[in-house]
Amino acid sequence: MIDRLTEGRFQPEQTLLGPGDDAAVVAAPDGRVVATVDTLVEGVHFRLDWSAPEQVGQKAVAANLSDVAAMGAVPTALLLSLACPGTTSTEVLDGLASGVWDAAADAGIGVVGGDTVSSDTIVVSITALGSLEGREAVTRSGARAGDVVAVCGKLGWSAAGMAVLRRGFRSPVAMVAAHRTPRPPWRAGPVAARAGATSMIDTSDGLLADLGHVARASRVHIDLSSRLVPVADKLRDVASALGGDPLTWALTGGEDHALAATFPSEDAVPSDWVVCGEVRSGAGVTVDADRWGGAGDPGWRHWR
């Protein structure tokens, strides 16, 4: 099966040894490698009645590319571990694998290794490797009082897409696609690093929750301005149709895989990024200097 899945697939220059041996060999030109793993489970992170197998594969890759980007790195390779029941159809298997490979090829990288095992549930686990291209990693702990907070990518779209799917609708297509196959702005990660980003994170848990990680790691207070947080017109339209709150989706919806970062000044913020808050002394995350919603955990919960 592995032969069938890997045959004729794209492998770029940095894949020094691809699939088919005990392990792969990937170039790590600056003597360091960025590595992260992300796992999607059927029934928890995806449903095959909501998403085509290709879309699940693409989504798994998106989450990983976003994590690599959030370090300021460019992706260099993926490894894929695919656990699934023996009864899984060839269509589903090939679809999952194709989704992973296509998304990898879009990012200019290859799937260099992996394994397929038998399991009661489909579990797609992807490891992404990346290169910092000689730069320091942009961590969660570098935000300083006086920095500005900026975001890049769509906020709340995945949550809106899920709300649409939950009602049994299939449109607006753009929202549903943002949920099924988020396209994280992973090229913006290295751009932000070059521009001097002091901290960066992937918004997988929702903007407030993820900035909470940055605030904690950096020992700072982050205050967002509700009028500056980008809320797309389409998001407002869907919210109004479904009775949701677009700002809540943008602030707390997960799985967007947008990027949030801090920069020393507004002048340093690259185009494509939107300034929406500032870093102060203190702790925690607020919106317009107030705690958001007043409820406990602002973070995202997967739908199960």
Q: Residues within the annotated binding site for Mg(2+)?
A: 22, 36, 38, 67, 115, 202, 205
CB of 127 to a copy of itself, least distance (A): 4
Q: Which is nearer to a copy of itself, 38 or 54 (CB)?
A: 38
Specify the residue, 112 or 159, whose C-beta has the smaller distance to a copy of itself. 112
Report the binding-site residues for ATP: 114-115, 140, 204
∠ CA 180-182-186, nearest 5°, is 160
With both helix axes pointing from N to C terminus, report the angle between 157-166 and 173-180 in degrees, rounded to the nearest 10.
110
DSSP 102-148: HHHHHTT-EEEEEEEEE-SS-EEEEEEEEE-TTSPP--SS---TTPE
Report, in Å, the least distance between residue 66 CB and a copy of itself.
8
The token duo for 186 is 């992973």
227-229-234-237 Cα dihedral, nearest 10 degrees: -50
Measured from the CB atom, the residue of 130 and 246 that comes closer to a copy of itself is: 130
Q: Of 218 and 248, which has the nearer Cβ to a copy of itself?
A: 218
Contact indicator for 67, 202 with CB cutoff of 8 Å: yes
3-class SS at 290?
strand
Minimum distance from CB of 14 to a copy of itself (Å)?
A: 9
Q: How far is the CB of 298 from a copy of itself (least distance, A)?
A: 19
The single-letter code of the amino acid at 291 is R
* Site for a copy of itself, rule CB under 8 A: 16-17, 20-41, 43-45, 66-68, 70-71, 73, 77, 79-81, 83, 112-115, 117-121, 123, 125, 127-130, 132, 137, 139-141, 200-202, 217, 302, 304
